[in-house]
Amino acid sequence: MTNWVTAAIVLVAMVWLNHFPNTLYWVPYCALSGVIWIDCYKMLPLQKIKEIVDIDTNDILIAVVTLVCTLWFGTKEGMGLSFAFSILLFFQERNKPYFYELGRIPLSSFYANVLDFPNATVTNGVLVFRFAGNLCFQNAHFLKTSVHSAILRYREKQQSPLYYFILDCSEIPCIDTSGVFALRVVYHYLRDNHISLILTDVNSTIIKSIQRSHHLSPLIRNHCIFYNVFFAHMYIFARLKFSQGDRSFIRSHLDYIDEQGLNRIQFNGINWGTLNRPLNDEEEAILKNWEHFDLSEPVVNSSKKEIEPEMKNSGFEYYCMGLGAKRDNKKTFFVGFV
């Protein structure tokens, strides 16, 4: 029965269209275009496109540019233009890496983005800054501008002097000559503004580049490179106690946060020159024998395994705080010159 109904409808349509010969001429074109549109619609995974939009807008932007250029100019031209557009987006992302301020997560020795952890502990007078990306020619200038803007934001928010700028290098895999020059500019900019630069989580490649730089070698000689941010804070805490004439902290304090969660690092308007004066022999000996060095943390062991094999023949030796103590059973956390 269905076949007869279909045949009748087709017969009536053909008789009716016979009175409009021009219309019959365009029927094959319309039918073919309908088939093409249906097939193209099936080729578009709308659910996956929606997922891409939610994950990364740059990817969907590349897809839209590819589709429009292919339909407008042709297959080869469209693919070529979309490839060039992808390269431009790639360099644009690498020119401005992500950077953020770190704070200490309560009840731990780990540090994370203060925007993700609003209750993270931040030390007044100390700014912990993480730069996520290669430090090379395309973003060397961005490091200088981002450091400058971070210091300005700190001063506007804290309304207090900044004594130490800790640059967390855990997400800087490599550095080239332009990056070394940018780091040198940052170092001198901070020194001119009475701010000490400290580097943490530095891999062996960056340490070797710093060693070869004439202007950055003071970072190693002046004990300014540490395995992690926590040890850098402990060094600042020791410096603060030394400037106050206190030597008793070595027998009681293994953390700069006390049991009530209060920060022991309180500068209280201390002079920057007094805080960063050269350590005498007694203070160096105290730091070398401080019980804090016996603490064992996974980050120390993993960093040591990563750096030590490459340091054996590169003119480096492990020292406690870089103060001349040979390697022994204690956990060392500073790399210094022999």
> Going from the N-terminus, what domains does the chain have, and what CATH number goes with each?
44-95 (no CATH), 96-337 (3.30.750.24)
Asked if residues 259 and 294 have their Cβ atoms less than 8 Å apart, the reply is no
> Rounded to 5 degrees, what angle do the CA atoms 285, 286, 292 make?
125
Among left, alpha and beta (phi > 0; psi -120 to 50; other), residue 63 is alpha
Identity at 222, one-letter amino acid code: N
Q: How far apart are CA 208 and CA 217, in angstroms?
A: 10
Low-confidence ranges of the chain (pLDDT < 50): 291, 293-338
- Name the residue with tokens 């200088």: 144
CA–chain centroid gap for 146, Å, is 12
**Radius of gyration over every alpha carbon of the chain, rounded to an integer in angstroms:** 32
pTM of the predicted structure, to 2 decimals:
0.67
State residue 319's pLDDT score: 29
Distances from the Cα of 3 to the Cαs of 6, 8, 13, 66, 68, in angstroms?
5, 9, 15, 45, 43
Identity at 163, one-letter amino acid code: Y
Asked if residues 129 and 101 have their Cβ atoms less than 8 Å apart, the reply is yes
- Name the residue with tokens 């603060």: 240
C-beta atoms surrounding 335 within 10 Å: 25
Question: Within 13 Å, how many C-alpha atoms sit on residue 165's CB side?
Answer: 27
The side-by-side arrangement of strands in the sheet containing 164-168 is: 111-113, 98-104, 126-132, 164-168, 196-200, 225-226, 334-337, 316-319
Q: How far apart are CA 161 and CA 173, in angstroms?
A: 31
